[in-house]
Structure 1
């Protein structure tokens, strides 16, 4: 997709072009389980509660775990394990244990093999804890000898990897929920934040690499870049230079907004919503974490992978769940007619790096 003018496991994606989209912040439900844990019975958990339990179990069990995900249907945290001892510990904590064949170390090794032998523009890979494998995606630009090379590497990994095709083309887009514009194109504002008592906003780093001064849709200058991180990461911090209204909220494009009160980590299986100035509001699910995308402009790591659609101009926009900010739209493939994959910069990482907070 071309830029529009005006108005812990890592996966890898190489894009012939970068399509930036705009995401809004994610909000979590109450962090408490609905009922006390019973021995051997998985707790019914909210997404944030599942995320906290996953972090605790991963830290306690270390290499005895092989990934976690949230089962939205049963509202249980599922923890992949390699043996019965770990399974008992997981079940005692209120999660559901699932015996799998591949350890995280083995899946990490598969990603290392992909990085060394198949870093091809138009490809991506991310660890899928549900499938217990690394899912490799090749967009429509990967053909001929590149496709043959990629297929050979994936086949050599056996049951640890799976190759899929995307009908679109991986790229970043420039256009949060509301449009922000500059001489280099259009992106979406992600989240309003506060740093040292002063007002700022977050958007995509590939946007702030292309544009230094930002205006609202009416053409009024509202801010100037304070920090830009791309590639490697994909976030930009912009300082407001005007007294424009800056609520801690996401535009839902129906005359209402979603108040954003905090930031949270994504969890595989989490239901999320994205807002952007091109395609407005769309829902989906987190399908992978710590993904690495190899755009033609450079590699970005630690991204959130989703099945939420997005298009050029949505870049930088907010991904949210409830009232919590989750991510900033980085890039992807496909569109909101046929669908596709979209990747997001975690908001928590951007906040830590910039010293800002939601507000």
Structure 2
């Protein structure tokens, strides 16, 4: 069975789960903002998070509430910290957001926003500058990705373990270490994109490739760039014409948008595939590192995990893709382009990763707000 909800030929037949608007600014030294009440989590969402994250129902409810608060605190705390901001992350055990700062004089004001404070040596600006230098090096295939890790206060470079002794990899690592505070970690596999050959009955097709729709925008939808090039036609799950790729970028980025016409329309909905109820999209407030996150895709449907890293450069065989977010959520071929959501907030579109939903793995997504800004699109919300 392809999906459990009754769906016609509209875009609702294709959409995955989405989320809400960015919280407004609060005074610099204000107390932690109180999130607006949101609809109770569906029984399906609770079940999925219990299964994938190993939590009880009450733990899921408490975590969702804590993460909503942390997302609101993060924006305020970063502004208060100013140039001393060293990054932030959510701790699931304590239910608190930790904010790193390089200037102890800022600690009190940052703590007043509701965050826990940690003093560090390097600012986020310094770490981002080091990562930007690594981006310019040109990585060999044995280097899978690199990102700023605020908790380690380092730029982490991930190397495929079996390629660690390769001369090109060793040269890259040596040059990376010269850019600033760098930590080398090993990973088991190289990342790959999650497009797939044609399989009947699934969300959308371009040429002989099947991918998944991410989020509805006014005039169309957003998805992964590696799924198609500008001008390429797109067919829906029923084989009918939807529209064409209006913009696409891959590698360097991995995002695209498709216009909608010929009897198709846009709705602010993400499919739950029977695991959770279909979800309404309310905005795109960015979740912090450490927050729980779920993904909807046409192959493996609904799975959940945690945000592991932001602004990571992923080195696919086709080339490097920048400013990605890494998660512990699994995915498989055909899930490319699908939705990532945290709470009721849209986060991004599925790009690629390693592993599968039988043995586990990691998956990256391209953040939704970057896509909207790049093409001047407006997220369709309730």
- TM-score relative to the length of structure 2: 0.75
By how many angstroms is 1:236 displaced? Answer: 1.2
Q: Which of 155, 166, 169 matches 1:147? A: 169
Aligned to 2:239: 219
Residues 112-121 or 59-68, more deviating: 112-121
SS in 2 for 1:265: coil
Partner SS for 2:76: helix
User: Which of 212, 223, 228 is the matching residue for 1:188?
Assistant: 212
Would you say 1:65 and 2:85 are equivalent positions? yes
Task: Please state how far the C-alpha of 1:66 moved relative to its aligned partner.
Answer: 0.8
Separation in 1 of the partners of 2:124 and 2:244? 42
Counterpart in 2 of 1:314?
A: 335
Change (3 A) 1:50 1:26: farther
The answer to whether 1:286 aligns with 2:307 is yes
1:55 and 2:55 matched: no
Question: Are residues 1:84 and 2:104 paired?
Answer: yes
Matched, 1:236 2:256: yes
Structure 1 residue 165: Cα displacement: 2.4
- Aligned residue pair count: 324
1:248 aligns with 2:268: yes
Shift of the 205–136 alpha-carbon distance from structure 1 to 2, 3 Å rule, reads: same
Seen in structure 2, the aligned counterparts of structure 1 residues 204 and 29 have a Cα distance that, compared at 3 Å, is closer
Q: Which position in structure 2 is the counterpart of 1:271?
A: 292
- Asked whether the equivalents of residues 24 and 328 of structure 1 are also in contact (C-alpha less than 8 Å), the reply is no
Contact 2:15–2:216 at 8 Å: present in 1 too?
no
CA distance in 1, matches of 2:328, 2:103: 31
Q: Deviations over 1:135-189 (max 9, x none)?
A: 211236735223333444466679x3322222222122225xx621121411111
1:10 matched residue in structure 2:
none
Equivalent of 2:158 in 118, 128, 137: 137
Instruction: Name the residue aligned to 1:295.
Output: 316
Tell me, what secondary structure is at the counterpart of 2:110?
helix
Shift in alpha-carbon separation, 1:170–1:349, aligned structure 2, 3 A: same
Contact 1:305 1:344 in 2 (8 A): yes
For residue 340 of structure 1, give the secondary structure of its aligned residue in structure 2: strand
Q: Which residue of 2 aligns with 1:202?
A: 222
Question: 1:17 aligns to what?
Answer: none
Distance in 1, Cα, partners of 2:69 & 2:335: 30
Distance 1:131 1:338, change over 3 A: farther
Structure 1 window deviating more from structure 2 (124-133 vs 96-105): it is: 96-105
Aligned to 1:13: none
Number of the residue aligned with 2:61:
none
| 1:45 Cα deviation from its structure 2 partner | 6.9
| Residue in 2 that maps onto 1:12 | none
Distance 2:69 2:374 in 1: 25
Higher relative strand content: 1
Q: CA deviation at 1:119?
A: 2.0
Q: Which range is displaced more, 131-140 or 104-113?
A: 104-113
Rounded Cα–Cα distance in structure 2 between residues aligned with 1:97 and 1:174: 41
Q: Which residue of 2 aligns with 1:27?
A: 19
1:23/1:136 CA distance change after superposition, 3 Å:
farther
Question: Could you say what secondary structure the match of 1:262 adopts?
Answer: coil
1:85 offset after TM fit, Å?
Answer: 0.9
Residues 123 and 253 of structure 1, relative CA distance in 2, 3 Å threshold? same
Q: Is 2:312–2:322's contact at 8 Å kept on the other side of the alignment?
A: yes
Aligned counterpart, 1:9:
none
Any gaps of 5 or more consecutive residues in structure 1? 1-21, 39-43
Taking structure 1 as reference, are residues 210 and 295 closer, same or farther at Cα in structure 2, changes over 3 Å only? farther
**Corresponding position: 1:75 with 2:99:** no
* 1:344 CA displacement: 0.9
- The structure-2 alpha-carbon separation of the partners of 1:31 and 1:118, relative to structure 1 and needing over 3 Å to count, comes to closer
Q: TM-score, normalised by structure 1?
A: 0.79
Give the 3-state SS of the residue equivalent to 1:225 in structure 2: strand
